[in-house]
Amino acid sequence: MRSFEEHKQYLKDLISHYDELIEMKPRNALVSSFLNFIEEEKYMSIGRLRNIREKEIECIYFAKTYRGIT
């Protein structure tokens, strides 16, 4: 199992790769055929990354609130 940091980095790299494919000029036939799929996957990856960040913020908040972190 990956750590949060490894998973966050993986998602950032994946989003970056999707951006490169979307912005590629000229597009090859494969990218053109799957452009909608690539865009959907990009936004799903952004959502997963956002969820991880939200969980981290929640953990920090609860740790500080309940004196887990000083």
Give me the pLDDT at residue 64, please: 82
* Host domain of residue 59: 4-65
Give me the pLDDT at residue 2, please: 74
Q: How many domains does the chain have?
A: 1
| Segment 36-69, tens digit of pLDDT | 999 999 999 999 999 999 998 998 888 888 876 5
In a domain, 61, yes or no: yes
In a domain, 70, yes or no: no
In a domain, 52, yes or no: yes
Name the residue type at position 3: S
Give me the pLDDT at residue 52, please: 92
Taking a C-beta distance cutoff of 8 angstroms, is the pair 48, 11 a contact? yes
| Segment 7-40, tens digit of pLDDT | 999 999 999 999 999 999 998 999 999 999 999 9
Among the residues of 1-70, which ranges form H helices? Answer: 4-23, 29-33, 35-65
First to last CA, the chain: 29
Global model pTM greater than 0.85: no
